[in-house]
C-alpha cells in the first residue's frame, strides 16, 4: 500500500466543523462522541458515589462497619473527594480542554492509513490493563515528500476487543496538527480523538450509553459486595466446629470436587479452544480486510490451551468451598438448646490486614465444669468491638450448640455473671 502514489480522492473534503476560523466553536454533536459520553458517565458516577458516601456517613450501619473496614472512617471525606472529582470533570468539559483543543485550534491535513493495530500501553502482574489503537499513517511534508508517523487513539481501558475503526488500511482520513500539544502528540487523527460519533474509534457492537439507573445499580452492587464479603468473613468464621470431624467428613466433602473434576476440565478445555479459534479467525479477518489487529507484544493477551494445573486449582477451591458450606449448614440448621460451658479468656485481640480490614477475636480455652482444668488447645472466636468491651475479667461462658450434623460449634461467648454482677 505504501508503494502506491499518495492520491486522495478529488471529492475528499474535511469535516464541516473544521472549516471555520480559529478558534472554532465546538458543535453540540461532538459532545455526544465517545469522549463526551465517557466524561458525562464519569461525572455521574462521581456524583452518585459522593452523595451516597456523605448521606450514609452518619448512619449507625456505616459507623459500626468502620470498625472492621477502616476506610469507612473517612466516608464523609471520601464523598467530598468524589464530589470534587465530579466538579473537576465538569470544569474540564466547560473549558473544552483535552481533545477539544485539537478541533478548535488544530490545522487539518489529509493522511493515508498504512497500519491499524491495538496494543497494550500498561501491564499489571504481566497482564495488559490499558490499550490504545495505533495507526501508521503517511502524509505530505512541507517539502512534498511523504512522512510516516505512528499516532495513538484515546485510552480504551481494558476493553480492546470492544472497539474497531470506521476506516481501514488504505483509506484517506483527516488529521489535525496542534502546535500547543506535547511534542509527540501534535499530530492526531481526528477520528482518534473520540469527538465525532461514528468517526474513527467505534464500538464493534452497538451499545447504549449507561443511564443513571444503570450506574446506580453497578455502584450499589459494588457496595453490597464489599459489605457482603465482610459479613461472610465474620459470620462464616463463627460457624466452624470446635470438634475435629472424623475421616468420613473430609472424604465426603472431597466426593463433590472429584466428581466435578472431569466435566469441569473438559468444559474449560473446550472453552479455551473456542477462544483460541475465535482469536485466530478475528486476526485472519483483520489481516484480510485491513481492519484493526489486536496484538500483544508480550503474548499475555493471546488465548492459550487450558492446562491440568488450572483445573487442579479450581477443584481445590471447590473442595474448600464444600468444607465451608457443610460447616455453615451444620450451624444454620442447628435447633438444639445451647449448652453453657465455662471458658477462660486468654486474649482479646484485633488484627489489621493491609491497613484496611480489621477483625476482632477472643482467644480462649474450654474448661472442665467439674475440675476447672483446660480442655484441648486454644480456640478462637470471631466477635465485634462492642462485644469485646463487655469482658472485664477472664471468666466467661460459651454457649455451644450440638450442630445439625453432630459437630459442636460456639454460638456466642458471654461474660460470667452471678446475680447481675459480671466477674
3-state secondary structure the chain: CCCCCCCCCCCCCCCHHHCCCCCCCCCHHHHHCHHHHHHHHHHHHHHHHHHHHHHHCCCHHHHHHCCCEHHHHHHHHHHHHHHHHHHHHHHHHHCCCCCHHHHHHCEEEEEEEEEEEEEEEEEECCEEEEEEEEEEEEEECCCCCEEEEEEECCCCCCCHHHEEECCCCCCEEEEEECCCCCHHHCEEEHHHCCCCCCCCEEECCCCCCCCHHHHHHHHHHHHHHHHHHHHHHHHHHHCCCCCCCCHHHHHHHHHHHHHHHHHHHHHHHHHHHHHHHHHHHHHHHHHHHCCCEECCCCCCCCCCCCCHHHHHHHHHHHHHHHHHHHHHHHHHCCCCCCEEEEEEEEEEEEEEECCCEEEEEEEEEEECCCCCCEEEEEEEEEECHHHHCCCCCCEEEEEEECCCCCCCEEEEEEECEECCEEC
Which one, of 275, 279, 405, lies nearest residue 332 by Cα?
Answer: 405
Distance CA 185, CA 178 (A): 8
Report pLDDT for 235: 63
Q: List the chain domain ranges.
A: 241-332, 339-422
Q: Do residues 334 and 409 lie in contact, with contact meaning Cβ atoms separated by under 8 Å?
A: yes
Q: How crowded is residue 265: how many other Cβ atoms within 10 Å of its Cβ?
A: 18
What is the full per-residue pLDDT of the chain (423 aa) written as tens digits? Answer: 556 788 899 999 999 999 888 899 999 999 999 898 888 889 988 998 899 889 988 888 888 888 888 888 899 999 999 999 999 999 988 888 889 999 999 999 999 999 999 999 998 888 888 999 999 999 998 888 999 999 999 998 888 788 889 999 999 999 999 998 888 889 999 999 999 999 999 987 755 545 556 666 777 777 777 777 666 666 666 777 887 777 777 777 888 888 888 888 888 888 888 888 887 887 787 777 788 888 777 776 667 777 778 888 888 888 888 888 888 888 889 999 999 999 999 999 998 988 888 888 899 999 988 888 888 888 888 888 888 889 988 899 999 999 888 888 999 999 986 544 444
Q: How crowded is residue 79: how many other Cβ atoms within 10 Å of its Cβ?
A: 20
Q: How far is CA 263 from CA 73, 253, 318, 370, in A?
A: 46, 18, 14, 54
Q: Give the three cell numbers for residue 105.
A: 485550534
> Which positions ≥6 away from 162 have C-beta within 8 Å?
156, 203, 204, 205
Q: Give the three cell numbers for residue 416.
A: 460470667
Report pLDDT for 325: 82
Q: Do residues 76 and 53 lie in contact, with contact meaning Cβ atoms separated by under 8 Å?
A: yes
Q: How crowded is residue 418: how many other Cβ atoms within 10 Å of its Cβ?
A: 8
Q: Do residues 151 and 138 lie in contact, with contact meaning Cβ atoms separated by under 8 Å?
A: no
What would you report as the CA-atom Rg of the chain, rounded to the nearest whole angstrom? 31
Report pLDDT for 76: 93
Q: How crowded is residue 209: how many other Cβ atoms within 10 Å of its Cβ?
A: 12
Report pLDDT for 422: 43
Report pLDDT for 152: 93
On the 0-12 / 13-18 / 19+ scale of CB atoms within 10 A, 86 is buried
Whether pTM > 0.85 for this model: the answer is no
Report pLDDT for 151: 93
Report pLDDT for 92: 87
Amino acid at each position: 500500500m505504501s508503494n502506491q502514489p499518495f492520491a486522495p480522492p478529488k471529492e475528499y473534503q474535511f469535516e464541516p466543523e473544521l472549516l471555520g476560523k480559529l478558534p472554532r466553536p465546538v458543535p453540540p454533536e461532538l459532545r455526544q462522541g465517545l469522549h463526551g459520553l465517557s466524561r458525562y458517565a464519569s461525572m455521574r458516577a462521581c456524583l452518585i458515589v459522593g452523595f451516597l458516601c456523605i448521606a450514609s456517613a452518619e448512619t449507625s450501619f456505616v459507623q459500626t462497619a468502620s470498625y472492621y473496614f477502616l476506610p469507612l472512617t473517612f466516608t464523609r471525606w471520601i464523598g467530598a473527594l468524589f464530589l470534587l472529582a465530579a466538579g473537576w470533570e465538569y470544569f474540564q468539559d466547560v473549558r473544552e480542554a483535552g481533545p477539544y483543543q485539537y478541533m478548535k485550534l488544530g490545522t487539518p491535513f489529509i493522511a493515508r492509513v498504512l497500519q491499524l493495530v491495538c496494543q497494550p500501553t500498561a501491564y499489571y502482574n504481566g497482564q495488559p490493563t490499558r490499550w490504545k489503537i495505533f495507526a501508521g499513517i503517511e502524509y505530505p511534508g512541507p517539502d512534498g515528500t511523504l512522512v510516516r508517523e505512528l499516532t495513538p487513539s484515546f485510552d480504551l481501558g481494558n476493553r480492546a476487543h470492544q472497539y474497531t475503526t470506521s476506516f481501514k488500511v488504505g483509506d484517506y482520513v483527516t488529521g489535525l496538527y496542534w502546535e500547543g500539544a506535547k511534542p509527540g502528540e501534535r499530530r492526531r487523527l481526528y477520528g482518534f480523538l473520540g469527538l465525532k460519533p461514528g468517526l474513527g474509534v467505534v464500538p464493534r457492537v452497538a451499545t447504549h450509553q449507561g443511564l443513571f439507573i444503570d450506574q446506580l445499580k453497578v455502584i450499589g452492587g459494588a457496595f453490597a459486595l464489599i459489605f457482603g464479603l465482610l459479613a461472610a468473613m465474620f459470620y462464616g468464621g463463627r460457624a466452624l466446629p470446635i470438634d475435629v470431624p472424623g475421616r468420613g467428613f473430609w472424604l465426603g466433602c472431597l466426593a463433590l470436587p472429584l466428581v466435578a473434576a472431569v466435566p469441569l476440565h473438559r468444559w474449560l478445555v473446550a472453552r479455551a479452544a473456542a477462544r483460541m479459534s475465535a482469536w485466530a479467525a478475528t486476526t485472519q479477518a483483520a489481516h484480510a480486510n485491513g481492519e484493526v489487529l489486536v496484538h500483544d507484544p508480550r503474548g499475555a493477551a493471546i488465548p492459550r490451551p487450558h492446562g491440568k494445573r488450572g483445573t487442579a486449582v479450581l477443584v481445590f477451591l471447590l473442595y474448600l468451598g464444600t468444607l465451608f458450606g457443610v460447616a455453615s449448614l451444620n450451624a444454620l440448621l442447628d435447633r438444639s438448646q445451647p449448652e453453657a460451658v465455662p471458658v477462660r479468656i486468654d486474649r482479646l485481640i484485633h488484627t489489621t490486614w493491609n491497613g484496611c480490614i480489621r477483625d476482632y477475636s477472643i482467644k480462649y480455652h474450654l474448661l472442665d465444669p467439674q475440675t476447672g482444668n483446660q480442655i484441648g488447645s486454644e480456640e478462637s472466636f470471631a466477635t465485634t468491638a462492642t462485644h469485646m468491651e463487655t469482658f472485664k475479667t477472664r471468666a466467661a461462658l460459651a454457649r455451644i450448640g450440638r450442630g445439625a450434623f453432630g459437630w459442636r460449634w460456639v454460638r456466642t461467648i458471654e461474660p460470667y455473671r452471678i446475680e447481675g454482677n459480671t466477674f
